[in-house]
Chain A
Amino acid sequence: MSQRPRTYLGFAAFALINFFVMIGLKYGHLEWMGTHEAVRTGYTVTGSPANAEFMAWLVVGSPLAGMILIMFMPFFICLVFGEIVSGEVAEGTLRTVLCRPIRRSSLFAAKVAASMIYGMCLVLFLGVSAYLLGWAFFGRGGLLAGGTFEHPMVAWYGQGPALARLCLSYVLTAVGATTVGMIALFISNWLHNSLGAIGGAIMLLFTALVIGEIPYFKPIKDYLFSTHLLMGQKAFADPIPWHEVAYGLKCLAIYIAALFAVSLAMFQRKDVLA
């Protein structure tokens, strides 16, 4: 995985996104994402919320984050998850590896673990790079969170609580990203085609998002993985809706476990000699 350039594409893209977010914050008044709701609800606001914490929030909890976490993140996650098995099949290395006396389940578990570590690293990179850029250009401080377009709010946390909430948010986001990645891994294991895995996972994600917005399907909305993809944003609510977070985590954990189990069963039955 570490030898392939595509593994680093996501890191490069997020570094670039964070750079432009920083430019927007420094010269383009992007701090409006945080102060708008406070001004609208009757507060006199002086100064600027721009700091490391605010930048890390912008890419995970603000209206900007929807684009990053629903479009970019799944794509780059699937790029690696969807290639972990099918890439080796295409290059013929999987056959060589499986001819050795090793347990297939161990090999598959190792591949999944490596993919999950990658997913976690990619999400954390998004946050850490945003934080470091923000720190370098604006310094550190408390966090002003303005919510999203659908759920606007005014929240201000001191530096310690802000960091704790940011960490929680990124961990929850990583769980969502891993779920999409597991779908790509499942399809990759099934079709032996990296492009199909990426396309299939993204298609399923957008289909689930569309289904979730149709009132007729409201009864099943809570069971769709796409509903919990942005649950990291709940970390900025006060009090944190732990019940909803726990439900989202359970839901995603079931998806991950089920996809892992089915993929493992397929991998163990895979005929590599054919």
Chain B
Amino acid sequence: MSKLACFAAGLAAILALAAVGAANEKPSADAILAALRKGFAGVNDCRATVTLTVKGPQVSINEMKMTLYYKKPNKVHIEAERGIAMFPRGALFGNPVQELGNGGRADYVRSERKLGVDCYVLRLTAPGARPGAHATVWVDKKHTVVVAAESTGTADMKTSWRYQTIDDKYYLPVQMNAELHPQAGPDTAGVIKSTIRFSNYRINKGVSDRVFESKPPTQDSDPHLRRRYRK
């Protein structure tokens, strides 16, 4: 990445943080969100090894390794290291703010320490969410990254992230833990716990566009089989 782009990204992040800091008493939720959306701004492309572990009723994925490719603006590709790779949908980089989309609502709640980090606490409500369904997000004041999130809805989900500074400049996630608690009901299953570890980061070393042109993910397109499996 050029020095100019680095400088521009850094400036943008500083400006966003400055906007957050400007409101001492009650920071603006929108400013925090804006800063969050610029998260990983210095990363134009990256490659990382992902190790996935999921444990729960009828699910047991044990240390499945895969390679994650990312390229701006939103190209993502997962490649199996040994034959097959599986990844929970919607969990890439684990940024709930990305999932909020346009038209969602964000409210600043308070500031508190979470997982040993000083955080802003935001309440996010997705557009069209049913009453009472929302997500609470803890945002690291220093690095403006999501440290933890809790969401309620059809299932309660708790997630937490651990970050490290990579190559002395990029503050990126190295581990994400998630716990899914299905709400009580006749078909309630137990808790599903998953851990996603990111390692061997190679940032801004260039990722060919051809990587993203490989075969699309496997689709559920076999109605015959779908009928036969228990719902």
Contacts and interface: CB of A to CB of B under 8 A. Distances in A.
Contact of B84 (A33, A45, A150, A151): A45
B62 A156 contact: yes
A155 B230 contact: no
Contact of B222 (A36, A141, A142, A152): A36
B88 A63 contact: no
A20 interface: no
B87 interface: yes
B139 to A, nearest CB: 26
Given A44-B217, A45-B85, A47-B80, A156 B64 contact: yes
Contact of A46 (B59, B61, B78, B82): B78
A43 B84 CA distance: 12
Q: Which of B78, B220, B228 has the most A CB atoms < 10 Å from its CB?
A: B220
Contacts of B60: 153-157, 237-238
A161 interface: yes
B219 interface: yes
Contacts of B24: none
Contacts of A158: 62-63
A213 to B, nearest CB: 15
A41 B226 CA distance: 12
Given A43-B88, A144-B84, A149 B218 contact: no
Interface in A133-150: 138-139, 141-142, 144, 147, 149-150
A205 interface: no
Nearest to A239: B60
A142 B83 contact: yes
Contacts of A155: 59-61
B210 interface: no
B89 A42 contact: yes
A38 interface: yes
A38 B222 contact: no
Contact of A161 (B62, B79, B230): B62
A168 to B, nearest CB: 15
B230 A149 contact: yes
Contacts of A49: 83-84
A154 B218 contact: no
A37 B225 CA distance: 10
B86 interface: yes
Nearest to A37: B229
B49 to A, nearest CB: 15
Given A43-B89, A46-B217, A141 B230 contact: no
A46 B84 contact: yes
Given A46-B78, A50-B83, A39 B220 contact: yes
B169 interface: no
A239 B67 CA distance: 27
Given A40-B229, A45-B85, A156 B80 contact: no
Contacts of A48: 83-84
A32 B225 contact: yes
Contacts of A141: 82-84
Contacts of B228: 63, 149
23 contacts: A32-B225, A35-B84, A43-B86, A45-B84, A45-B217, A45-B218, A46-B80, A46-B86, A46-B215, A47-B85, A48-B83, A139-B83, A141-B83, A144-B84, A149-B229, A152-B58, A152-B229, A154-B58, A154-B60, A155-B59, A155-B60, A156-B61, A156-B62
Interface of B: 54-55, 58-64, 66, 78-80, 82-89, 215, 217-220, 222, 225-226, 228-230
Interface of A: 29, 32-33, 35-51, 63, 138-139, 141-142, 144, 147, 149-158, 161, 237-238
